[in-house]
Amino acid sequence: MPIYTCTTAQGALTADAKRALATEITRIHAEINHVPPAYVHVVFSEPPQDSVYVPGEPGAPLLIGGWVRRRHPQEEAARLALELSAAAARVTGIPEQRILVVIQDGPARSAVEGGHVLPEPGQEKEWLSRHGA
Amino acid sequence: MPIYTCTTAQGALTADAKRALATEITRIHAEINHVPPAYVHVVFSEPPQDSVYVPGEPGAPLLIGGWVRRRHPQEEAARLALELSAAAARVTGIPEQRILVVIQDGPARSAVEGGHVLPEPGQEKEWLSRHGA
Amino acid sequence: MPIYTCTTAQGALTADAKRALATEITRIHAEINHVPPAYVHVVFSEPPQDSVYVPGEPGAPLLIGGWVRRRHPQEEAARLALELSAAAARVTGIPEQRILVVIQDGPARSAVEGGHVLPEPGQEKEWLSRHGA
């Protein structure tokens, strides 16, 4: 259900670090937002070093953007972002000072997976029993 | 006005499949959201295979993310996502089980095309007659 | 705090144009949204020419997508988008007719930078004095 996109300049993350980060994002999201790991998508975007600027100069941030269904409790959204930031620093070695995590939400009813409109937060169980893999 | 980004691992889509998918997304969006095809943008993002994880392992999903103006009727957003998912499966051969479509909305007044703030849904005709190409 | 992603087909922007555009986006955002330049992230995404379609044909738009904290005054969001569009045309030479700027907002409380949840709009000063670099 969720999609996470991790953006860094090319070469900032090893293949092992990418895999470890994907594993951590999947684990944390599944736990906090009650979604089976099989539904957590993580994509890495690694443009050349002259394509990432902060502030106005080539830089080396790690940007983690997530899309989640709207109406998860607000405290959980903050906890999700905080845990992702801490985990990303831990598994990549990039200092948290250079990590920005943004969780964006959108209506579940505007999203479709496996041919079915996604469930509202809290209605995952019924949806999974009807449509799950 | 809308922007669609289609993300798959490199090699998952042929050039023909990309073109066919762009054509279908354009047709479906134009029809449901009353926007001339000339305003529908479709971008493909194809990171290497070790950059797409689900769940925590390299995977091969097709992720279609769209940005549309807020306040289209909610039933139409669900219909849009469902039709895009079915069309994507049909033209790419990727099973719908591996396709995730997310329509994200945002305020029309925070978007500018051709130098002009975008119209609210329902006010396209007047905007196009004043600012259209 | 904000993240801007500029998408064009490969070769549409020179290295100088990218740097100039990053500089302008940073300057304009910092001024209108009261954020120090050090917190403005700009990323370029440049897929091959057969990966950008409008409408349904390979095209050459410049798409600028921004994520900002929700609850900035609405008039400022329009002004921000209009100024970014004009500046992008000026520094890249791409006609404004082919430029689309979309500012998407999300809750500050769902975003974390440097290990801290971001401040609501208007509370930047206190946040920066406690958590700033």
What's the complex ipTM?
0.93
Report, as an integer, the average pLDDT of A103-117: 94
> Three-class SS of residue C32?
helix
C65 to each of A85, C3, C4, how far by Cα in Å? 23, 8, 6
Residues of B64-87 as b/e, b for ≥16 C-beta within 10 angstroms? bbbbbbeebeeebbbebbbbbbbb
Q: Which residues of chain B neighbour C102 with C-beta distances below 8 Å?
A: 3, 67, 106, 110-111
Please name the member of C55, C80, C86 whose beta carbon is closest to the beta carbon of B37.
Answer: C55
For residue C40, pLDDT over 70 is answered with yes
DSSP string, A9-48: -TTSS-HHHHHHHHHHHHHHHHHHHT--GGG-EEEEE---
Sign of CA dihedral B120, B122, C59, B63: positive
Site of tokens 């700009």? C42
pLDDT in tens, A34-71: 899 999 999 999 999 999 999 878 889 999 999 999 88
Q: What is the CATH number of the domain that holds B49?
A: 3.30.429.10
Section A68-81 average pLDDT: 87
**A109: nearest CB among B61, B74, B89:** B74
pLDDT for the residue C101: 98
pLDDT tens-digit map of C58-90:
889 999 999 999 887 778 889 999 999 999 999
- Looking at every residue in chain A, the average pLDDT score rounds to 93
What confidence category does residue B90 fall into, taking pLDDT thresholds of 50, 70 and 90?
A: very high
C10 CB near a chain B CB, below 8 Å?
Answer: no
Position B58 scores a pLDDT of: 84
Distance from the C104 Cα atom to the nearest Cα atom in chain A, whole angstroms: 9
The two tokens of residue B97 are 């089980």
d(CA B18, CA B91): 9
Q: What is the mean pLDDT of residues A100-125?
A: 94
Rounded distance, CA C21 to CA C4, Å? Answer: 11
Which CA distances in Å does C112 have to A1, A70, A88, C34? 21, 18, 12, 18
Its domain, for residue A125, covers 3-131
Query: In this predicted structure, what is the pLDDT of residue C133?
Result: 65
The nearest CA of chain B is from the CA of C98 a distance in Å of 6
Radius of gyration for chain C, computed over Cα atoms and rounded to the nearest angstrom: 16
How many residues can be counted in chain A?
Answer: 133
| Count of domains observed in chain A | 1
